[in-house]
Amino acid sequence: MDFIMKFLLILLLTVFVVGCATLNEDECYTADWYEIGYSDGVKGQPHSYVEKHRKACSKHGVRANFDEWQSGHQAGLKRYCTAQKGYEEGLNNRTYHGVCEGRPADQFLQAYEQGQKLYQQRTLVSDLQRDIDQISAEIVALEDEWQAIRSELLNDNLSATERAELISQLERNKEHSETLRIRRDRLDEDLYRAQYDLDGLERMNNRYY
């Protein structure tokens, strides 16, 4: 049993390591380092990303061509460091690694911040709507419970103690339901304001679409 467990652990670790490698053995042997660098640049990967390629390929006895990768990376960054891409990255809540420089960096960051604002506002609206839906579902469940209790109260065989307990449950049910309705009303107001702000951001950011 110990041998089997050790074997499974080694197998899992192997899969994990392979899954983390940026390049496999075949890719390392046939690598076009300019194209790899270009692809990394277009994705906004940092300059340090080449180290992951170096480690992946060194396991197979292949050396990364840093100069070729660097040339490709710089070319890729020219496509990445634009206002349009900055907006897309921010809107999708992707991490910016600070790879842009000069005026392109300023344009990228300005658009990135706008995309982030829109992402955050959309998330806020979504979260508020989710909370409202959850509370509405709780209220419906309480109403069903309230009807069930009322039906039980029609039972003539109930003792005085049982009837009192059911009436107490009705009161608790009513109080809880009222609390939830008040909370939902407040969330509705928050959602209205959040949606209003979101509509404004959508209109303001139309130039990035």
Domain ranges of the chain: 2-80, 116-208
- Indicate the pLDDT class of residue 26, thresholds 50, 70 and 90: confident
Q: What is the pTM of this model?
A: 0.76
Least-confidence region, from 50-64, 65-79, 175-189: 50-64
CA 43, CA 175: separation in Å to the nearest integer?
54
Q: How far is CA 66 from CA 53, 70, 85, 106, 183, in A?
A: 10, 6, 26, 28, 59
| Both tokens assigned to 18 | 């392979």
Q: Where are the alpha helices (DSSP H) in the chain?
A: 2-20, 25-29, 33-42, 50-58, 66-80, 83-91, 102-153, 160-204
Mean pLDDT of the chain: 88
**CA pseudo-torsion sign 43, 49, 50, 52:** negative
Percentage of the chain surpassing pLDDT 90?
66
Model confidence over 89-114: pLDDT tens digits? 999 999 999 999 999 999 999 999 99
- How much is the pLDDT for 7? 38
- Indicate the pLDDT class of residue 20, thresholds 50, 70 and 90: low
Q: What DSSP state is assigned to residue 81?
A: S
Q: Would you list the DSSP string of 160-184?
A: HHHHHHHHHHHHHHHHHHHHHHHHH
Examine the pLDDT at 191 and tell me if it is beyond 50.
yes
